[in-house]
């Protein structure tokens, strides 16, 4: 697959992605049995993960979204900007942040500071993809679909220059 000036090859199939989402949902369903939780999806990348995860959640729950940005092209800018903030009341509630991918942990740190000052009962992170070799934050995700190496990927909500989000599979950069 070609997007702009970069070439990508198939890395994770739709079947593998969906299988891992069901596993994450099963763990969340078990851990929060009898509890009401609020999912907070991180736009734009996590919209597909959030939608497919919610189809497998068997709990009383709500979902809300925030939008933050830290990437330009294929690398992090080192700064996280809040573009759309949290508008849902999360005081004394269990919150699960939904991320498409966790790499450096910079975005998670920003999200924790956004959410924590609203006094939730608990805050955890569920992510489709996790790059443990790139992680430098203090809040690792509790629910991880697939651990991957520190390579740039696109598809299934993840983008390169805002393109490629609409694929069912995930592709890895080849150059």
Q: How many CB atoms lie within 10 A of CB 93?
A: 18
Catalytic residue among 103, 116, 133, 159: 103
The dihedral over CA atoms of 9, 143, 40, 163, expressed in degrees to the nearest 10, equals: 0
| Cα separation values, 97 from 12, 49, 82, 117, Å | 23, 12, 15, 15
Catalytic-residue membership of 103: yes
Positions marked catalytic: 103
């Amino acid at each position: 697959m070609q997007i702009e000036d970069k070439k990508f090859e198939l890395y994770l199939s739709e079947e593998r992605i969906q299988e891992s989402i069901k596993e994450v949902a099963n763990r969340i369903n078990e851990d929060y049995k009898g509890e009401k939780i609020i999912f907070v999806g991180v736009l734009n990348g996590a919209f597909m993960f959030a939608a497919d995860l919610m189809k497998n959640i068997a709990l009383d729950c709500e979902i809300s979204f925030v939008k933050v940005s830290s990437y330009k092209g294929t690398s992090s800018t080192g700064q996280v900007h809040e573009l759309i903030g949290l508008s849902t009341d999360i005081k004394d509630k269990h919150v699960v942040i939904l991320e498409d991918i966790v790499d450096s942990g910079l975005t998670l740190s920003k999200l924790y500071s956004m959410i924590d000052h609203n006094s939730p009962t608990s805050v955890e992170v569920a992510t489709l993809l996790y790059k443990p070799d790139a992680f430098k934050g203090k809040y690792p995700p509790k629910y991880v679909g697939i651990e991957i190496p520190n390579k740039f990927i696109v598809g299934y909500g993840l983008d390169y220059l805002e393109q490629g989000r609409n694929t069912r599979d995930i592709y890895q950069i080849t150059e």
